[in-house]
Amino acid sequence: MNFWIILLIALGCATAVGASATRGEAKPNIIIIYADDLGYGDLGCYGHPSIRTPNLDRMAAEGMRFTDFYSAGEVCTPSRAALLTGRYPIRSGMCHNQFRVLRSKSKGGLPKEEVTLAELLRDRGYRTGMIGKWHLGHLPEHLPPQHGFDFYLGLPFSNDMMPTAEAPKGRAKFFAEKNEYWETPLLLGTRVLEAKPDQRTLTRRYTDEAVKFIRMNQKAPFFLYLAHTFPHVPLFASDQFHGRSPAGLYGDVVEELDWSIGQVLDQVRKSGLSGRTLVIFSSDNGPWLTYEHHGGSAGPLREGKGSTWEGGMRVPGIAWWPGRIPSGRIQREVGLTLDLFPTVAKLAGAPLSKTVLDGVDMSPLLFGTGTVNREPFLYYRGSTLYAARMGPWKAHFISQSAWGSDKPVFHDPPLLFHLGLDPGEKWNCAGTNAVVLAQIQAVVEKHRAGLVPVPTQLVETVGH
Ligand code: MG
C-alpha cells in the first residue's frame, strides 16, 4: 500500500472518529441536578405564576421538558436510592413505613452490594463528583466516597435534622429564618469540614464547586451529581436573592437555584462541552405542603411530598443536550428517575450486570427517535405499594394523606383515575374499566412475586 492510500485511510478514520464524537457517540459527560422538595408547579416552564426561573425555562426551551416525569420515592432517602441504583428502594432496603428516611442517628445506609451510577461510570473511566445532600447513610462507610464518587462536598442528610439546643420547639424554628438554629455539618469526603455551616451560603458554595469540577475535568468524561439542599425547609437564600422574589422566601430560594443551574450550563458552554454533555434536572419528591408558604406547589396535581397521589411523586423533569436532544420538545410519555441508570449505562457503553433494574433505556424518548415499552410505574409509600400507573391509567390500592394522622384506606376494588382527563385525581372511574384494573393488578402481583426480601436500613440507630 503506498503512502497516499495509507494517508487517506488514516484521514478517513480520523474523520469518522470526529463525526462520531460530534454526534455525541463518544462517552458523554453526565450531569444530574436534583432539587429537594421542589414541586411540579414551582417553575415558570411548569406554569408557576410568580416564581421566576429564566435559566430552567431556557434549559427546557433548548432541550426537552417532561410532563409526566416521576421520582421513585415519595420522600428523600428512597428517591435518592432509586436515582443512583435504577431500582425501586424496596429492593435495597432504603425505605420503611414508619421512619420513611434516614435520620441523624441512623446506622444504616445504601448497601455496598448496590451498584451506583457513580461506580458504573467510574469503571468506564469517568471522573465522578457529588456535591450537595446525600441522605443515603452518614456513617463513613456509607458516604459517597464509598459509593463510587471521587469527590464529595455536601450535607450528609437534610438541613432540618439537627436543630440546635436554642431552637424553639415545634414548627416555629422553621419559620424563624435563623441559621443559628441549625447545625447539620458540611462534609468534604468523609470528614467534617464545618460543623455548623451558614445555610444561606450553601446554594452558592455548591454552585462554585460544581463549576470548578466541570472546569477541572473538561478533558476526561465526568459524572457530576449536584443535589441541592433546597427548597427543603428551613429555607435560606443568600443576600443576593433574599427578599427579591414576588413569591416570598420560597421564591427567593427557587430563584437562587435557578441561578445555579444557569451557572452550571454556562460553564458547560464555556468549556466547549455542550455537544457532549447530557444534563438532567429533577426533584426528589413533591412539595412539602404542610409548611404552607415555605413549601412549594404541585400545580394541578393532588397532594404533595410524602404521598402517592400525583403531587407527591410527579416532579419537574428537564433534559438538555444541544445537538442530540431536539430543542423545545415537550415529552408527554412517562419518564422515570429509574430510567437514568440504564440510559446512562447505554450512553457510556457500560455493560449491565444481572441485577434487576426497574427502569428502561429512555434514549428513544430523549433523542426523539421513538417510544419505549415499560412496565407500569409503581408508587411505593415506605415499603408498601399503594398505587400503579399503566399508560394514562392509575390505580390506587391504598390511599392516605401525606403527613396527617389518618390511617391508610384500602380500596377493593381499587380507585382508578385517567391521568390524561383528570390529572388532579378527582373522578374515580373503576366501575366502567374492569379490564384495565385487572391488567394493572396482574402486573402488580407479578412484581410482588419477584421481590427478594432484604432488611430495611432505616430502623437501627447508633448511640442513644
Ligand atoms: Mg426531598
- The catalytic residue among 76, 95, 142, 294 is 76
CA of 135 to the centre of ligand 1 (A): 10
CA of 40 to the centre of ligand 1 (A): 13
What pLDDT shows up at residue 24? 43
User: 289 — alpha (psi -120 to 50), left (phi > 0) or beta?
Assistant: alpha
DSSP 385-413: EEEEEETTEEEEEEE--SSSSPPPEEEEE
What pLDDT shows up at residue 5? 52
Helix 248-270 to helix 54-62 angle, to the nearest 10 degrees?
50
Tell me if residue 299 falls in helix, strand or coil. coil
**CB 253 within 8 Å of CB 228:** no
What pLDDT shows up at residue 4? 55
User: For residues 315 and 395, what is the distance between their CA atoms, to the nearest angstrom?
Assistant: 19
CATH code of the region 27-367: 3.40.720.10
Torsion from C-alpha of 441, 92, 334, 37, nearest 10 degrees: 120
What pLDDT shows up at residue 405? 75
Paired sense of beta strands 191-194 and 393-399, if any? unpaired
User: For residues 395 and 337, what is the distance between their CA atoms, to the nearest angstrom?
Assistant: 21
Q: Is domain 377-450 annotated with CATH 3.30.1120.10? A: yes
User: For residues 223 and 343, what is the distance between their CA atoms, to the nearest angstrom?
Assistant: 14
What pLDDT shows up at residue 9? 52
Would you give the DSSP letter of residue 325? S
CA of 76 to the centre of ligand 1 (A): 4
CA of 274 to the centre of ligand 1 (A): 29
What pLDDT shows up at residue 2? 56
CA of 405 to the centre of ligand 1 (A): 20
CA of 454 to the centre of ligand 1 (A): 24
- The catalytic residue among 48, 96, 135, 294 is 135
What pLDDT shows up at residue 133? 97
State pTM to two decimals.
0.94
> Is 45 among the catalytic positions?
no
Q: In what order do the strands lie in the sheet with 377-381?
A: 377-381, 384-390, 393-399, 409-418
Whole-angstrom CA distances from 69 to 65, 271, 284, 336, 410 are 9, 29, 11, 6, 26
- For residue 135, which of 249, 252, 29, 285 has the smallest C-alpha distance? 285
How do residues 1-52 score in pLDDT, each as one tens digit?
Answer: 455 555 455 554 444 433 433 344 689 999 999 999 999 999 999 999 999 9
The domains of the chain are located at 27-367, 377-450
- For residue 108, which of 127, 133, 86, 81 has the smallest C-alpha distance? 81
One pLDDT digit (tens) per residue for the chain, 464 residues: 455 555 455 554 444 433 433 344 689 999 999 999 999 999 999 999 999 999 999 999 999 999 999 999 999 999 999 999 999 999 999 999 999 999 999 999 999 999 999 999 999 999 999 999 999 999 999 999 999 999 999 999 999 999 999 999 999 999 999 999 999 999 999 999 999 999 999 999 999 999 999 999 999 899 999 999 999 999 999 999 999 999 999 999 999 999 999 999 999 999 999 999 999 999 999 999 999 999 999 999 999 999 999 999 999 999 999 999 999 999 999 999 999 999 999 999 999 988 999 999 999 999 999 999 999 999 999 999 999 999 999 999 999 988 877 899 999 999 999 999 999 999 999 999 999 999 999 999 999 999 998 999 999 999 75
Read off the C-alpha cell for 182: 441549625
> Is 135 among the catalytic positions?
yes
How many Cβ atoms sit within 10 Å of the Cβ of residue 190?
16
CA of 36 to the centre of ligand 1 (A): 4
Helix 76-85 to helix 340-348 angle, to the nearest 10 degrees?
30
- For residue 71, which of 337, 389, 334 has the smallest C-alpha distance? 337
- CB under 5 Å of ion ligand 1: residues: 36-37, 76, 284-285
CA of 279 to the centre of ligand 1 (A): 20
CA of 311 to the centre of ligand 1 (A): 13
Instruction: Mark 368-393 as b/e (b = at least 16 C-beta within 10 Å).
Output: eeeebebebbbbbbbbebbbbbbebb
User: For residues 196 and 181, what is the distance between their CA atoms, to the nearest angstrom?
Assistant: 10
Would you give the DSSP letter of residue 143? S
Read off the C-alpha cell for 237: 437564600
